[in-house]
């Protein structure tokens, strides 16, 4: 029979926040208004790990990240409830654990790894190298869902309905199309997206899930640096399990603990490893165990040796040094365009937490994750690839959803003047030059006022020896903002005959820029 226990409330809370996560994910889109009226990036804004690394690496206090203080305060009172009751990654792993059952014996030997990773991330960020995006659970999750899960989900569903639409008898598609319409208005993304690194992002997420086969919540126990940070703060918390020890001769709570938080020797609960899932309270058959407010006392040190601590520190110093001598930063990257409103090179990299929100919200699917173009530490940072999608002139969404200010939120007039690059023609391929045939599709689409692409009316002799009047386009660099619509719409096959090169603020730091 179903009885309401503490576990019921925990599960409801987990489901609520998981649903909230996916709802906000879906709302990270154009809604018909120029502004997104919801704090769709709240999971990043209350993430203390994001706040800490941005504070250390960019040396600024980002007011957007103040909600992280709330999670800190919550942890300092109640311990790691965030991990057990809120975190959508934890919820997904709990759900997976119902299907994939851990096969290996639990051990606690890998537990310090998360502290080491946290140490490395914090120390490197102090030296301006931002690595949090590799390991922050929300960065991994939002990016994985944006770049891989959501596009695949849409591909499967639309593929199914498209097949019915095209090949099934009329009566069947008369039924399937309205169903498809309802899905489009609810769970499906507005349109099919395509991303670079989709396979890699999907595989990273899959690997985290697959680790459930080794241990329950393997990620949370051993790897999650946010969990490690909250663990450290939970040592001050005053809401604790009583009794502290698992009972002798009873095999309910300690072996079943999803965090394996009981010390095998002393049977004592390591409070900082506990996510307050309440399983041990609900399942207790002996003396009534419970959580109550109590002053912390007699705690062990956190599960990290001094050597590991020093090692993490050294690694945290070495990685930024190695990054400094990476040729990726000295090689000019003329086609590496950053989103409109992006901070200058180094500040951008130190603020960006690779959360993928900007790529999710980009209505032209133009923002794509970098691979190694700006070094390994720039992996998954956003770049504009105009041939895939251009930057919509009146759209300011990427700056609105960026949780750290790596892309600042621009007003529409600011956006209209923000230079992300400059277009350059290749007359060897451009039709009115190379083929003596009319085109100027680029001029038609150029959105700036006055147009940055103009044309010269010339009379040339074509290959047939006929004299033809042509309009040959050219760029006015002072007017071009590098939105890339010209590159996107150029009707040539393959590469466009007009390409956007890095310019403006972004180009100053590497001394590369075209047209000032």
Partner 1 sequence: MDRRNFLKQVAVWSSGVLLVEPVFRITPDLLAAETVSPVLSVGVGKNYASLVASVLQPLGGMAAFVKPGDQVVIKPNIGWDRAPEQAANTHPEIVKAVAELAILAGAKKVLVFDRTCNEERRCYMNSGIKPALDSIGGRQIQCSYVDERKFMPVTIEKGKSINKWSFYKDALEADCYINIPVAKHHGLSRLTLGLKNTMGVIGGNRGKIHRNMGQNLADLNTVIRADLTIVDATRILLRNGPQGGSTRDVKVLDTIVASPDPVAADAYATTLFGLRPEEIDSTRAAAEMGLGEMRLNKIDIRMV
- The footprint of partner 1 (CB under 8 A) covers 30, 32, 162, 165-169, 190, 363-364, 392-395, 431, 437-441, 443-445, 447-451, 455, 471, 489-491
CB of 285 to partner 1, least distance (A): 55
CB of 440 to partner 1, least distance (A): 5
Burial 436-470 (b: 16+ CB within 10 A, else e): beebbbbbebbbbeebbbbbeeeeeeeeeeeeeeb
Report the residue number, 387 or 489, with the smaller CB distance to partner 1: 489
Report the residue number, 31 or 305, with the smaller CB distance to partner 1: 31
Report the residue number, 259 or 440, with the smaller CB distance to partner 1: 440
CB 28 within 8 A of CB 388: no
CB of 38 to partner 1, least distance (A): 17
Report the residue number, 428 or 469, with the smaller CB distance to partner 1: 469
User: 59: exposed, middle or buried (C-beta count within 10 Å: 0-12, 13-18, 19+)?
Assistant: exposed
Q: What is the DSSP string of 136-203?
A: -HHHHHHHHIIIIIHHHHHHHHHHHHHHHHHHS-HHHHHHHHHHHHHHHHTTS-SS----TTHHHHHH
Report the residue number, 30 or 335, with the smaller CB distance to partner 1: 30
Report the residue number, 30 or 134, with the smaller CB distance to partner 1: 30
CB of 311 to partner 1, least distance (A): 50
CB of 493 to partner 1, least distance (A): 9
CB of 494 to partner 1, least distance (A): 12
Report the residue number, 133 or 473, with the smaller CB distance to partner 1: 473
What is the token pair recorded at 409? 């939120």
Q: Which residue has the tokens 């965030």?
A: 82
Burial 84-107 (b: 16+ CB within 10 A, else e): bbbbbbbbbbbebbeebebeeebe
Report the residue number, 307 or 463, with the smaller CB distance to partner 1: 463
What is the token pair recorded at 405? 């200010």
CB of 30 to partner 1, least distance (A): 6
Q: How far apart are CA 377 and CA 515, in angstroms?
A: 29
Q: How far apart are CA 94 and CA 96, in angstroms?
A: 5
Q: Which residue has the tokens 């706040």?
A: 51
Q: How far apart are CA 321 and CA 366, in angstroms?
A: 33
CB of 381 to partner 1, least distance (A): 23
End-to-end alpha carbon distance in the chain:
74
Q: List the alpha helices (DSSP H) in 285-406.
A: 306-324, 345-351, 357-361, 397-401
């Amino acid at each position: 029979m179903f009885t309401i226990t503490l576990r019921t409330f925990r599960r409801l809370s987990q489901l609520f926040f998981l649903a909230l996560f996916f709802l906000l994910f879906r709302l990270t889109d154009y809604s018909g208004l120029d502004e997104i009226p919801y704090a769709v990036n709240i999971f990043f804004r209350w993430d203390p790990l994001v706040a800490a690394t941005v504070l250390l690496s960019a040396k600024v206090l980002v007011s957007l990240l103040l909600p992280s203080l709330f999670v800190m305060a919550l942890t300092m009172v109640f311990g790691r409830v965030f991990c057990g009751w809120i975190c959508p990654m934890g919820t997904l792993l709990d759900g997976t654990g119902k299907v994939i059952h851990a096969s290996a014996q639990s051990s606690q030997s890998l537990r310090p790894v998360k502290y080491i990773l946290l140490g490395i991330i914090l120390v490197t960020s102090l030296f301006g190298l931002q690595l949090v995006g590799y390991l922050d659970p929300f960065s991994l999750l939002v990016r994985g869902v944006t770049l891989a899960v959501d596009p695949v989900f849409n591909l499967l569903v639309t593929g199914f309905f498209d097949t019915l639409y095209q090949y099934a008898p009329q009566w069947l598609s008369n039924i399937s199309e309205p169903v498809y319409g309802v899905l489009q208005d609810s769970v499906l993304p507005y349109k099919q997206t395509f991303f670079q690194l989709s396979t890699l992002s999907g595989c990273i997420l899959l690997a985290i899930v697959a680790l459930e086969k080794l241990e329950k919540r393997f990620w949370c126990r051993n790897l999650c640096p946010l969990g490690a940070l909250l663990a450290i703060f939970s040592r001050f918390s005053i809401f604790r399990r009583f009794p502290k020890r698992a009972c002798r001769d009873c095999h309910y709570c300690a072996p079943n603990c999803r965090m394996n938080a009981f010390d095998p020797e002393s049977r004592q609960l390591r409070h900082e490893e506990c996510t307050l899932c309440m399983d041990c309270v609900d399942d207790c058959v002996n003396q009534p165990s419970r959580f109550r407010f109590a002053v912390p006392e007699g705690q062990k040190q956190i599960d990290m040796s001094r050597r590991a601590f020093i090692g993490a520190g050294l690694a945290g110093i070495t990685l930024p040094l190695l990054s400094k001598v990476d040729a990726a930063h000295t090689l000019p990257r003329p086609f590496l365009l950053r989103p409109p409103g992006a901070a200058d090179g180094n500040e951008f990299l130190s603020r960006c937490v690779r959360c993928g929100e900007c790529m999710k919200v980009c209505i032209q699917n133009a923002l794509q994750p970098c691979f190694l173009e700006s070094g390994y530490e720039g992996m998954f940072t956003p770049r504009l690839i105009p041939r895939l999608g251009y930057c919509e002139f009146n759209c300011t969404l990427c700056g609105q959803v960026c949780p750290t200010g790596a892309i600042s939120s621009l007003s529409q007039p600011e956006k209209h003047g923000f230079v992300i690059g400059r277009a350059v023609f290749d007359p060897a391929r451009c039709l009115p030059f190379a083929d003596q045939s009319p085109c100027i599709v680029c001029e038609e689409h150029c959105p700036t006022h006055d147009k940055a692409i103009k044309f010269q009316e010339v009379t040339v002799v074509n290959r047939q020896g006929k004299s033809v009047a042509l309009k040959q386009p050219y760029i006015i660099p002072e007017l071009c903002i590098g939105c890339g619509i010209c590159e996107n719409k150029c009707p040539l096959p393959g590469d466009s005959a007009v390409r956007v090169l890095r310019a403006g603020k972004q180009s100053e730091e590497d001394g590369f820029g075209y047209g000032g």
